[in-house]
Amino acid sequence: MKIPALPGFDEQAFEKYFKNTGWLMFGKILSLAVGFLIARYLGPYAFGDLSFADAFAALFAAVGTLGLDSFIIRELIQNPEKRDEILGTSLGMRLAANLLLIPLAVLTYLAFRYFSDSPGQNLVIFVTLCASASLFKSFNIIDSYFQSRVASKFVVKIQNVCLMLSAALKIALVYFKSPALYFAWALCFDSAIIAIGLVLIYKQQHLHIHTWTFSWERAKHLINQSWPLILTAVMISIYMKIDQVMLKSLGSKQVGIYSAASRISESWYFIPVAIVTSVFPAIIQARKTDIDRYKTRLQNLYDLLVLISLPVAVLVSIFANSIISILYGNQYDGAGAMLSIHIWSGIFVFLGSASSQYLLAEGFTMVSFSRTAFGALINVLLNLWLIPLYGGWGASMATLIAYASATFFLVFIPKTKEQGILMLKSLFLISIIQKITKN
C-alpha cells in the first residue's frame, strides 16, 4: 500500500506492519464479505433484528471486559512469577461479571420491550445468544498473556483458523437457507471457538489453566486500577452502538437498512489504526528532542489522514446507491442516502484515531474519557430528536455530528486547544494549501 511521503514517516515500518498483520487484514475483509452475504440473504427485517440484538448486547458486554486488558499485560510484565494468579483472578472476575450481565441484558430488554415487526422472530432469544457470546470472550485474557510475551503470532494463527471455520459455517447457513435464529447461534459459536482455540494454544506452550488461582486481594487491586477504563468502554459502546438500538423503535426494517449502510461506512476504519501505529513512534521521538518538529509531524499526520479519507467520502457519497445495489441488491431501499451521509464520519474517525494517540502520549487520559462521554451524550440526544423525524437518515446525521463533536472537543479544552486547531487546519485543507503554495 503506497501512501504520500510524510516527514517522520517510516515507510519500511509501515510495510512491515502490514506484512506482520496481513492475515488480520485478510480476516477483516473475509468477515466483511461474509457479513454482506448474510445481510443480502436475510433481508432488512431479519438482518435488522440480528443487528439490534448484537448492538443491544454490546452495551452490556462493554462492562463485562472490566477494562482489564491493558492492566493484565502490565501486571504480567511486572510480575511474571504471578502469572497463574493474575490470569486466574482476571478470568474469575470476567466470568462472574458476564454471568450477571447476561440476565441483566435480557431483563433490561424485557423491561423496555421493543416489539418486533418481523413475524416469527423471537428477539429475546436473539438478545440472549448475543449476550452469551461475552461469556466466552472472558478467555481473551489468554491473548493478553501472549501480548505480554510479545508472542501475538500464536493468537493470530488460532484466530485465522477460527475465522475460516466461522466463515464456512455462515456460508453453509446461507446455502441451506437457514432461518435468522441460526445466525444468532453462529455469533455465539464465533466466540466459543475462539475461547477453545486460545485454551488450546495456551496448552500448546506447555501451560495449563487448571493451575490458575483466584486472589481476592489481586481482584481488588485490578478493579481499583481499571474502573476508569470500564466507564470509558461503556461510553465507547454507547457512542458506537446506540443508534441501532434506538432505531428499533421504528421497526426492524429501519435497523436493517441503517446497519447495512453503516457496515460499509465502517469497513475501512482499521486503516487509520495501521497508519497511526506505524507513524507515531517517530512522532513521539520528535517530542523528546524537538517540540516544533513534534507539532509539524502531527500536522503532517492529520493532513495525510484527511487526504485519504476525504476523497473516499466524496466518491462513496456520489456512488452510494450503486454500492448498495451491488452489495445488497434492491432490498435495502434508502440505505444509499444513509451511506452518503454516514461515510463522512470516517474523516473524524481518522482524525480521532491520531488525536487519541496524542492524548495518550501527553497523559491526558481524563480528556480522552471526557470527549468520548461528550460524543456519546451528543449521539443519544440527537438520536432522540432526529430518529422519530427522519429514521435511519436522522441516525446517520446524529452519528456524523457526534463524531465531529467528539473529535473537535479538544478545541474547547485549554491544554489541547492547539491540537484541535491543527486538526481544523487539516480538515479545511489550510495547511495542505500552504505547503502547495510554498513549493
List, for residues 348-393, the tens digit of each pLDDT value: 999 998 998 888 778 787 888 899 899 999 999 999 999 999 999 9
Q: Are residues 110 and 208 in the same domain?
A: yes
pLDDT tier at 343 (50, 70, 90 boundaries)? very high
The answer to whether the pTM exceeds 0.75 is: yes
List, for residues 186-240, the tens digit of each pLDDT value: 999 999 999 999 999 888 888 888 899 998 998 898 888 777 778 878 888 888 8
Pinpoint the alpha helices (H) of 248-334: 252-265, 270-289, 291-328
pLDDT over threshold 90, residue 145:
no
Query: What pLDDT is stored for residue 9 in this prediction?
Result: 46
Cα gap 131→134, rounded to integer Å: 6
Look at residue 282 and tell me if it is in a domain.
yes
List, for residues 237-259, the tens digit of each pLDDT value: 888 889 999 998 888 899 999 99
Look at residue 4 and tell me if it is in a domain.
no
Q: Are residues 224 and 302 in the same domain?
A: no
Residues 6+ apart with CB under 8 A from 394: 382, 383, 385, 386, 387, 388
Domain carrying residue 314 = 268-439
Look at residue 262 and tell me if it is in a domain.
no
pLDDT over threshold 60, residue 19:
no
CA 274 remoteness from chain centre? 14
Query: What pLDDT is stored for residue 271 in this prediction?
Result: 82
Last residue in a domain, options 247, 281, 307? 247
Q: Are residues 58 and 182 in the same domain?
A: yes
Residues 6+ apart with CB under 8 A from 2: none
Look at residue 76 and tell me if it is in a domain.
yes
Query: How many CB atoms sit inside 10 A of residue 275's CB?
Result: 23
Q: Are residues 317 and 351 in the same domain?
A: yes
**How many separate domains does the chain show?**
2
107-111, 205-209, 397-401 — most confident range: 397-401
Query: What pLDDT is stored for residue 98 in this prediction?
Result: 93
List, for residues 112-122, the tens digit of each pLDDT value: 765 444 444 57
C-alpha cell at 59: 452495551
Q: Are residues 219 and 276 in the same domain?
A: no
Query: What pLDDT is stored for residue 20 in this prediction?
Result: 47
pLDDT over threshold 90, residue 436:
no
Cα gap 262→257, rounded to integer Å: 9
Last residue in a domain, options 247, 279, 299? 247
Q: Are residues 325 and 435 in the same domain?
A: yes
Can you tell me the mean pLDDT for 87-91?
Answer: 91
Least Cα distance to 429 among 311, 286, 295 occurs for 311
Cα gap 184→128, rounded to integer Å: 9
Pinpoint the alpha helices (H) of 79-152: 83-111, 123-136, 141-148
pLDDT over threshold 60, residue 335:
yes
Query: What pLDDT is stored for residue 310 in this prediction?
Result: 95
Cα gap 129→118, rounded to integer Å: 18
pLDDT tier at 295 (50, 70, 90 boundaries)? confident
Look at residue 342 and tell me if it is in a domain.
yes
Q: Are residues 93 and 167 in the same domain?
A: yes
439 exposure class (CB count in 10 Å sphere: 0-12, 13-18, 19+): exposed
Look at residue 295 and tell me if it is in a domain.
yes
Look at residue 215 and tell me if it is in a domain.
yes
Cα gap 15→25, rounded to integer Å: 13
Asked if residues 53 and 129 have their Cβ atoms less than 8 Å apart, the reply is: yes
Segment 354-363 long-range contacts (CB within 8 Å, at least 24 positions apart)? 354/272, 354/276, 354/298, 354/301, 354/302, 354/305, 355/407, 355/410, 355/419, 355/423, 357/276, 357/280, 358/298, 358/419, 359/416, 361/280, 361/283, 361/284, 361/287, 362/416
Q: Are residues 223 and 273 in the same domain?
A: no
Q: Are residues 233 and 274 in the same domain?
A: no
CA atoms within 13 A on the CB side of 164: 7
Pinpoint the alpha helices (H) of 391-427: 392-407, 417-427
Q: Are residues 283 and 395 in the same domain?
A: yes
Look at residue 10 and tell me if it is in a domain.
no
Q: Are residues 227 and 312 in the same domain?
A: no
271 exposure class (CB count in 10 Å sphere: 0-12, 13-18, 19+): buried
Q: Are residues 165 and 313 in the same domain?
A: no
Least Cα distance to 310 among 426, 434, 394 occurs for 426
pLDDT over threshold 60, residue 181:
yes
Last residue in a domain, options 247, 279, 307? 247
Can you tell me the mean pLDDT for 125-143?
Answer: 91
Cα gap 46→17, rounded to integer Å: 38
144-148, 155-159, 223-227, 428-432 — most confident range: 428-432
Q: Which amino acid is at 74?
A: R
pLDDT tier at 10 (50, 70, 90 boundaries)? very low
